[in-house]
Chain A
Amino acid sequence: MIPDRVVEVLHGPTWIQIGSRDEALRPAHTVAVGAVVHDDRQTVTVFVPTARSGRVLRDLTGNGRIAVGLALASHESYQLKGTYISSRPTDDTDRARQEARRAALLESALEAGYPEAIARPLALGLAITPGVAITFRAEQVFLQTPGPGAGTLLS
Chain B
Amino acid sequence: MAILPDDIKAAMQGVIPSHVVTCSHDGTPNASAISQVYYVDADHVALSHQFFNKTKRNLEENPRAMAWVISPETFEAWDLELEFVRSETSGPIFDIMEMQIEAIASMVGMKGIFKLRAADVFRVTAVSKAVGERIPLAEIPRAR
Name A's B-contacting residues (CB within 8 A).
15, 17-21, 25-31, 49-52, 63, 65-69, 71, 75, 77, 79, 81, 112-113, 116, 118, 120-122, 124-127, 144, 146-147, 150-151
Contact of B133 among A15, A52, A65, A150 (CB under 8 A): A52
Beyond known contacts A19-B66, A21-B27, A28-B66: 19 more, CB 8 A cutoff: A17-B21, A17-B31, A19-B30, A25-B27, A25-B64, A27-B21, A28-B21, A49-B132, A63-B27, A67-B30, A69-B31, A75-B110, A81-B29, A118-B72, A122-B72, A127-B135, A146-B110, A146-B114, A147-B113
Residues of B in contact with A, size category: 35 or more
A26, B133: Cβ atoms closer than 8 Å:
no
Chain A, Cβ-Cβ closest to B137? A121
Chain B, Cβ-Cβ closest to A147? B113
B23, A25: Cβ atoms closer than 8 Å:
yes
Of B2-10, B46-54, B90-98, which stretch is located at the interface? B46-54
A17, B132: Cβ atoms closer than 8 Å:
no
- Decide: A68 near B31, CB < 8 A? Known: A116-B143, A125-B137, A151-B53: yes
Within 8 A of A (CB), among B98-140: 108, 110, 113-114, 130-135, 137, 140
Contact of B22 among A27, A30, A147 (CB under 8 A): A27
